[in-house]
């Protein structure tokens, strides 16, 4: 079952984090979203070094929903190029991983 699940990182402005997380779960694009509420990000954008206060969403989803999740983030995220990094879950509690897949069907 682990091959069918993903953990996804999405950084987002703090004020948008809760609504965005709830939307992903309500749409069954995610089984669960954790919010790390305070993160400082330093990055280069358009030739300048910038810094922002953000939140980090840790999204648990199924491989089957990744395309839809990515499309939703591209369409609804407030950033021009949002961070969306997905990693396969290589091991974990089978019951939990089965729940992630079931909740994203």
CATH number at 59 reads 3.30.70.120
Phi then psi for 46, rounded to 5 degrees?
50, 45
Residue 2 has pLDDT above 90, yes or no: no
Look up the domain containing 27 and give its range: 2-103
Q: Is 66 within 8 Å of 104 (Cβ atoms)?
A: no
pTM of the model: 0.93
The count of structural domains within the chain is 1
Q: What is the pLDDT of residues 9-43, one digit of tens each?
A: 999 999 999 999 999 999 999 999 999 999 999 99
Closest of 61, 44, 65, 49 to residue 96, by C-alpha: 61
Residue 3 has pLDDT above 90, yes or no: no
Q: Is 58 within 8 Å of 25 (Cβ atoms)?
A: no
Q: What is the pLDDT of residues 85-97, one digit of tens each?
A: 999 999 999 999 9
Q: Residue 4: beta bridge partners? A: none
């Amino acid at each position: 079952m682990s091959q069918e699940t993903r953990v996804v990182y999405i950084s987002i402005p703090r004020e948008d984090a809760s609504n965005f997380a709830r939307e992903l779960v309500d749409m069954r694009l995610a089984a669960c979203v954790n919010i790390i509420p305070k993160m400082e990000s330093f990055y280069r954008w358009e030739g300048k070094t910038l810094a922002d206060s953000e939140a980090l969403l840790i999204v648990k989803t199924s491989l089957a929903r990744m395309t839809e999740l990515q499309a939703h983030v591209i369409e609804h995220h407030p950033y021009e190029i949002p961070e969306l990094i997905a990693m396969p879950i290589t091991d974990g509690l089978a019951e939990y991983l089965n729940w992630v897949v079931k909740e994203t069907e």
